Chain A
Amino acid sequence: MLRACNRLLRPAGRVAFYTIFIPSGLSQAEYRRAARAGPSAVTSHGRQQAELLRSAGFTGVREIDVTEAFLRATRAWYEARARYAGQLSQAEGEASFHERQRDYRLQARAIEAGLLRRSLFVAERAA
């Protein structure tokens, strides 16, 4: 996908993306827990993202860690949804509502344990 982005950008065009990832250096058990707790679209490694950007032809790669804000947002989704539990479970279906709430709880715990991170990556297509 990053190679596709590079192809689509004009020279000196810029890419910026937020991504949730599993940090390197975890044990196999921690990695499995992180993969279970993270959103379904997320499996990537942060360090790998920077390397992939460079190998896709990008320069000036920067990473800005936004994990604290990620934790705040995860907790906020859980707490705000809990306050509107009646209306939301009626709209979403009770099972789906509780499944999402469980996912937010698991995710918050994984972030607190250092098993999930979120960063903004910024880079430029070589001129």
Chain B
Amino acid sequence: MTRDKDTISRFHNRYSLPVTDAALAVEREVIGANVGASGYTTVAQADALIPELRLRPGTLLLDVGAGRGWPGLYLAQETGCRVVLADIPAPGLAAAVKRAREGRISDRASFVRAAAQYLPFQSSMFDAVVHTDTL
């Protein structure tokens, strides 16, 4: 549990950092775009998820441990699907809300502050679930 708290605290701090030109340049170089990513899932790897999850307009996707909205918001943008983003660090979710607004997909995106172990959703609600390096 301490390890979990440390991890949450680390991500909380990371998501609270100011977004600088340098950070954006580094993210573009590593990930391939400015999408709020701080891990190892590149744009090409996010694209690979689309056929695997059979995403299309109307599909309901859950992104667990969504951070600042990567890759859930991107997948919604690319496919027209609806997405629910779940994570604990509030600064990450706040950034995701802003990203959804800027990407004009707020009407297809929802945000829930919840831990991966305690997801407060009805059974059989989603068509697809994605998570990246949260296990």
B17 and A11 form a contact (CB under 8 A): no
Asked if A50 is an interface residue, CB under 8 A from chain B, the answer is no
Bound complex: CA A17 to CA B6 (Å)? 22
Residues 49-78 of B contacting A (Cβ, < 8 Å): 49, 52-54, 62, 64
Known contacts A40-B7, A73-B40, A122-B52; is-contact A8 B125 (Cβ 8 Å): yes
Total A-B pairs, Cβ < 8 A? 127
A14 and B52 form a contact (CB under 8 A): yes
Asked if B34 is an interface residue, CB under 8 A from chain A, the answer is no
Asked if B1 is an interface residue, CB under 8 A from chain A, the answer is no
A9 and B64 form a contact (CB under 8 A): no
The CB with the most chain B CB atoms within 10 A, among A42, A44, A81, A84, is that of A84
Range, interface on chain A: 35 or more
Residue from B20, B29, B121, B131 within 8 A of A76 (CB atoms): B29
Residues of B within 8 A of A (CB): 3, 6-7, 10, 13, 17-18, 20-23, 25-26, 29-31, 39-42, 45, 48-49, 52-54, 62, 64, 116-117, 119, 121-135
Residues of A within 8 A of B (CB): 1, 4-5, 7-11, 13-20, 39-42, 44, 49, 66, 69-70, 73-74, 76-77, 80-81, 84, 87-88, 91-92, 96, 118, 120, 122
